[in-house]
A = this chain, B = another copy of it.
Amino acid sequence: MIHVFQPDKYYLSIGSHSPALEINSGDTVTTTTVDAGGFDKNGVSVSERGNPQTGPIYVKGASPGDVLAVRFNKIWPNRDHGFCRPKIAANVLEPGHEAGVDDLDTFNFILDFESATAKIENPSNALKNLSVPIRPMIGCFGVAPDRGQTISTATSGPYGGNMDYRGFKTGVTAYLPVFVEGALFHIGDGHAWQSDGEILGTGIEISMDVSFTLTVIPKVEILWPRGQDQNFIFTAGNMRPLDQALQHCNSEMLRWLTEDYEMLLPDANILMGTYVEYDVGNVFDPAYTMICKIPKSVLPVAKQGSLLSQSL
């Protein structure tokens, strides 16, 4: 079933807020998200700034100990301009290295849907020929955390949140651990484009039309967000420092290989050590995000009931 949902309230935190919509496992939701500053497709301010979230969506049957699969069917800008911060974050430069940019205003990118590119508005001379492909992604999504927590959309954790990873895009399925009845799915903070690391603290921040399918996978334990695209399975570690984020995504991948794929640990060590690839999610937010990927082409068959034995 497809639910067309028009949000009228947004949250700056992910937690056990009152459900805005209730659906069955396997249902699809078509809705919209506002940009990180709270502006909608008409450029109207409809929320305070800070990655406002659409939702939460209650998925019947989801219980603690289950996994919520989130299939992103569509993530696409619903307006033709997005904003960007102009300054590289001090925390990713050498201590004392002056980026040389005062706290300038944000600047805009203008999207041209015909050519599928975005260009800087009023560029300086040096930047006047630059453009990027429109490559939409969703910066922040997640489920209500454990222990009754309600956590700012500035950060991320085992429940998802503001991971700002350019790999969360149309065609990808994300997997999140369920901590509360109904899972309570939130989504927001779309980017028309983002490079690795989100080192400006933004991508091209924009409002989106989104469509996603939420499916409960019962009784599978995962500790950190996972995902798959056409070519890879991947795990996300969300923590500072980057070294610890790396530890979490690696350990989560090793658990995945040994549990869902029933590999022996020595084999899983060799497979992962031989084929692993890393993407840097964000290195701007309070928790950094590191992504660990394994090509699907080298995986054994997943066991019955596992994440990837589902036809998503």
Contacts and interface: CB of A to CB of B under 8 A. Distances in A.
A176 to B, nearest CB: 18
Interface stretch (A72-80, A167-175, A182-190, A262-270): A262-270
Contact of A196 (B251, B278, B300): B278
B130 A274 contact: yes
Interface of A: 12-13, 15, 50, 84-97, 99-101, 104, 107, 120, 124, 126-127, 130, 132, 146-152, 154, 193, 195-197, 199-200, 239-244, 246-248, 250-251, 254, 263-267, 269-280, 283, 288, 298, 300
B254 A86 contact: no
A269 B251 CA distance: 26
A200 B279 CA distance: 18
Given A13-B148, A84-B270, A132-B274, 14 more contacts: A84-B273, A85-B273, A86-B273, A91-B96, A95-B95, A97-B247, A124-B264, A132-B275, A146-B152, A199-B272, A199-B276, A200-B269, A241-B241, A243-B243
Contacts of A89: 95
Contacts of A250: 88, 92-94, 199
Given A92-B250, A241-B243, A273-B195, A149 B150 contact: yes
A13 B13 CA distance: 15
B247 A95 contact: yes
A99 B197 contact: no
B93 A251 contact: yes
In the A-B complex, the 8 residue pairs with the closest CB atoms: A100-B265, A90-B96, A90-B95, A200-B273, A91-B95, A150-B150, A94-B251, A126-B267
A266 B101 contact: yes
A243 B242 contact: yes
A124 B265 CA distance: 12
A249 to B, nearest CB: 9
A279 to B, nearest CB: 8
Contacts of A265: 99-101
Contacts of A200: 269-270, 273-274
